[in-house]
Amino acid sequence: MSLRFPLCLIGFILFLCNVYAQRATLSGQVQTSDSKPIADAVVTLKGTKYYVRTSADGAFVLKDIPYGSYTLVAFSYGKELLEKPIIVSSSELTVDFILGDLNKELDEVVVQSERERTFGITRMKAVENFGIYEGKKTEVVVMKDITANLATNNPRQVFARVPSLNIWEMDRAGLQLSIGARGLNPNRTANFNTRQNGYDIAAESIGYPESYYTPPMEALERIEVVRGAASLQYGPQFGGMVNFVMKKPAAKPFEFVTRQTVGSWKFFNSFNSVSGTYKKLGYYGFYQYKTGDGWRPNADFTQHTAYLALPLQISDKLKITPEYTYMTYLAHQPGGLTDTEFEEDPRQSNRARNWMRVNWNLVAVSAEYKLSDQTQLNWRNFLNLSSRDAVGNLERINRYDNPSSNRTLIADEFKNVGSELRMLHQYRLGGQQNHLLVGARFYRSYNLKQQGDANNASTADFYFLNPDNLENSDYTFHNTNVALFAENIFTITDKFSITPGIRWESISTNYTGYYKKRFFDGAGNLVYEERNNETQKVPRNFVLLGIGLSYKRNNSTEYYANFSQNYRAVTFSDVRINNPNIVIDSTLKDEKGYNFDLGIRSSHEDWFNYDVSLFYMRYNNRIDLIERNSTRFRTNIGTSRHIGAEVFAEINLWKLLNSSSIDKRLTVFGAMTVADARYVMIRDEVEREYNVKKNNFVAFAPRLIGRGGFTFGWKNWKAIYQASYTSLQYSDAANNDNRDPTAIFSPIYRYYVMDLSLSYRYKFLVFEGSVNNLTNHAYFTRRADSYPGPGIIPADGRSFYLTVQARF
């Protein structure tokens, strides 16, 4: 053997040793402008994984820093963010920071360090983006650091680390998001307050809070999830709040990103964005086109989405950001299946004439104004001009779809306007920093809901045969909502804080219109028709209270507790919709209750992260569905209580075994929820007539939801294997265990699903691949009583996707 190889090897080893030896220790102190130490401040090397928090005396130490040029950043809540360029060329370096008072959004570098520390999941800060989250149960999904099928908005991958979410998988490409938590119905995420950049995006936040629009995951910077305690700042809903935060403009003048995805069943997704900053004007915009045939016949779809934001920094004190969002899609709906049909072939379709069309237009203008170093204002104004149309056969799935019979068209128009003003003020009391948030909200809606006969074709035709005399119903709904709210963080000691809150809510629901009762003979001929005119105004005024407690044992571990009252008004769909599968109780009442959380959470640098909590939810006058003569009856069932535990943990095994490694990671994560949601009180007439018993399980409340997996990262490679499991859940309050011929009333059986995703970055290119439902497991997550059913809605089988991204 030639001596060249061993000599080269020895030289290479000596080179590596020399490089490794050239590492430094970086230390310093972070202080206020009056020379007081700042504890728990963030100090990080920008763009790296080196991250630390200051001790009680404001000191920090970063070890094993390779020689080179860096930007050192220091940040603390209520203080300015300060950057310092440094050159590490000796074994020890000292850098001190003096931070002035300033309340501003978290800079991207802080988000970056949090992302690197938690590998895709973090939590809201105590004060962030004009909101107070001290002591609340929160999760933040950081999109840049997760490996998932973003082109299809796959929720079980995106929300893999968020415990307790019950996910309905009912469309092929993430056209709609349907998640629920703690035994709340997942249908179109209606039990959460859904927002984009802090403003409402649902159809109607009070009367029809269903979300037909979901922002593309490829356009998001992060997703913020706040549980039931969100009621004081964001509305009275039981579920909490989900806020989709769009990406911010790039710091350079121009950046172009294109992502092209192909997949099974002719799936194609094209996402293209432009971004940049010129002087005081920033811009971020994208256009997305998505199409495919779907896993089942009659499941083709086409979607277009566009967005533009133009943040303008007018002065050091004033920033204004106008935004516009447009989305439209047309989706063919294959309908539901009976249990027997699902077992025979879950890919079959018995409905070829069902379609849905959605057009969404959102306009928003937000303004931020700095009154002083201690006080800032935020004003969010938004307008929603949208529509949703569904045409098809609503009859039970076990009945033949006669191609000569007319279809039913349900047409909705939404015209909503809202304004929300917030003031965030920081002040010192008893030598401690405190924060006060006060706000006011005005919301006005005008919505049209019509239902009548459409033609008998199989094409996507959305017009009424008799628009001046609809066969089913014609209503206009008006909602006016005025709210005042306030929360305050009282910092008792450096470790303990109390955050009380209050919200006054005024809701006025008005509707006018008519519905018809129609009777047919055995041959389908109309025998008798009765028109019922209705006009009603329902005003409500109420106060919601809440309180949060936080105890920070040290820089990494926090104990938290939170209590908050909740409220849910009767929705438009509750009031009037004609469906052969549903009968609505005309005496429905609003629902009331509260949420309580108690937990501990901790983050240990970038190797261990966990959040363990208990929850209790009380739900009075709960509206649910029960069976009556093979028809679903919607009424106030009684009172339910939801109790359980939510656990999330993630450990970086590579960091644990080799703390000096920064270019490799191997993590294990798990998110599990054990819950028991039952009725503790049943209305006498419901128990007597419909066989709903005390201790029955609440519908759509699985007792166990578990997700977990492994993530691997090495240099430019990232991979994740993930498994999900959901136990049996009932679809009605009577807990029917038998097979129902309409496939509506029976249980949703336990299921599991596994996914695999891979990503590789090469210079300005990124290559991503994923296999969804790795084992091709046949399962379903929903039994629909209307669109997109009725009946069992099968989840997709095994599918493959490939994405290529380029950044210029």
Q: What is the pLDDT of residues 625-645, one digit of tens each?
A: 787 666 678 889 999 999 999
pLDDT, position 738? 86
The whole-number average pLDDT for the span 781-808 is: 93
pLDDT at 555: 77
Half-sphere exposure in the Cβ direction for 72 (13 Å, CA): 24
Q: How far is CA 693 from CA 448, 553, 642, in A?
A: 38, 45, 16
Arithmetic mean of pLDDT, 177-205: 94
For residues 617 and 183, give the distance between their C-alpha atoms in angstroms, rounded to a whole number: 9
Q: Grade residue 566 by pLDDT with cuts at 50, 70 and 90.
A: very high
Confidence of residue 664 (pLDDT cuts 50, 70, 90): confident
Confidence band, pLDDT 50/70/90 cuts, at residue 576: low
Dist. CA 292–CA 304, nearest whole Å: 13
Q: What is the pLDDT of residue 114?
A: 44
Residue 209 within a domain: no
pLDDT for position 129: 87
Mean pLDDT of 114-133: 76
* pLDDT score for 605: 60
Instruction: Please count the structural domains in the chain.
Output: 2
Better-predicted residue by pLDDT, 672 or 608: 672
Q: With the CA atoms of 771, 775, 776 and 781 taken in that order, what torsion angle do they form, in degrees rounded to the nearest 10?
A: -90
- pLDDT (0 to 100) of residue 14: 41
Query: Two tokens at 47?
Result: 């763009």
pLDDT given for residue 174 in this prediction: 85
Supply 531's token pair.
């028109």
Query: Residue 160 is encoded by which pair of tokens?
Result: 């893999």
Per-residue pLDDT band at 24 (split at 50, 70, 90)? confident
Q: Is residue 308 part of a domain?
A: yes
Say if 285 falls within a structural domain.
yes
Query: How do strand 582-584 and strand 591-604 relate by DSSP bridges?
Result: unpaired
Q: What is the pTM of this model?
A: 0.86
Specify if 122 maps to a domain.
Answer: no
Highest mean pLDDT among 142-146, 482-486, 531-535, 620-624: 482-486
Q: Is the pLDDT at 579 greater than 90, yes or no?
A: no
**Tens digit of each residue's pLDDT (9 = 90 or more) over 314-334:** 998 999 999 999 999 999 999
Percent of the chain with pLDDT over 90: 64
pLDDT band at 4 (very low <50, low <70, confident <90, very high): low
Q: How much of the chain, in percent, has pLDDT values that exceed 70? A: 91
**Domain carrying residue 584:** 241-403+412-453+473-773
pLDDT, position 519: 79
The whole-number average pLDDT for the span 48-76 is: 80
Please calculate the CA angle 201-207-210 and round it to the nearest 5 degrees.
Answer: 45
pLDDT tens per residue, range 262-291: 999 999 999 999 999 998 999 999 999 999
**Residue 93 is assigned to a structural domain of this protein:** yes
Q: How confident is the model at residue 231 (pLDDT cuts 50, 70, 90)?
A: confident
Q: By three-state DSSP, how is residue 646 classified? A: strand
Q: How many residues does the chain have?
A: 808
Minimum mean pLDDT range among 61-65, 579-583, 650-654: 579-583
Res 102 pLDDT > 60: no
pLDDT for 56? 76
248 touches 284 (CB < 8 A): yes
**Which pLDDT tens digit goes with each residue over 390-432?**
999 988 888 889 999 999 999 999 999 999 999 999 999 988 8
What is the average pLDDT across 215-221?
96
Average pLDDT score over residue span 203-228: 93
pLDDT of residue 20: 39
Placement of tokens 């809540």 in the chain = 77
Taking 50 as the threshold, does the pLDDT of residue 16 lie above it?
no
State whether residue 198 is helix, strand or coil: coil
26 is a domain residue = yes
Average pLDDT over residues 121-125: 86
Phi, psi (5° rounding) for residue 250?
-70, 155
Q: Distance (Å, rounded) from C-alpha 15 to C-alpha 61?
A: 27
Q: Among 43-57, 484-498, 689-703, whose mean pLDDT is lowest?
A: 43-57
pLDDT band at 662 (very low <50, low <70, confident <90, very high): low
DSSP assignment letter at 113: H
Assess contact for 659 and 150: CB atoms under 8 A.
Answer: no
In 3-state terms, what secondary structure has residue 145?
A: helix
Mean of all residue pLDDT scores within the chain = 88
pLDDT over threshold 50, residue 687: yes
CA 197/CA 307 separation, integer angstroms = 12
**Which of 320, 343, 319, 345 lies closest to 334, judged by CA?**
345
Residue-wise pLDDT for 593-608, tens only, equals 999 999 999 887 667 8
* Residues 328-379: tens digit of each pLDDT: 999 999 999 999 999 999 999 999 999 999 999 999 999 999 999 899 999 9
User: With contact defined as beta carbons under 8 Å apart, do 183 and 677 qualify?
Assistant: yes
Domain boundary among 100, 123, 146: 100
- What is the CATH number for 60? 2.60.40.1120
Residue 193 lies in a domain: no
Confidence tier at 9 by pLDDT (50, 70, 90): very low
The verdict on residue 154 lying in a domain is: no
* pLDDT of 543 over the 50 cut: yes
Q: What is the pLDDT of residue 573?
A: 67
| Residue 585 predicted with pLDDT over 50 | yes
Q: Are 625 and 582 in contact (CB under 8 A)?
A: yes
Weakest mean pLDDT among 2-6, 214-218, 226-230, 344-348:
2-6
Residues 798/770, Cβ–Cβ less than 8 Å = no
What number of other Cβ atoms are within 10 A of residue 771's Cβ? Answer: 19
Between CA 487 and CA 437 the distance in angstroms is 5
The identity of residue 377, as a single letter, is L
Question: Locate tokens 């009932």: which residue?
Answer: 730
pLDDT recorded at residue 628: 65
pLDDT tops 50 at residue 113: no
- Which residue, among 180, 167, 157, has the nearest Cα to 228 in the 3D structure? 180
The CATH number given to whatever domain includes residue 246 is 2.40.170.20
| Mean pLDDT confidence for 497-508 | 95
pLDDT band at 12 (very low <50, low <70, confident <90, very high): very low
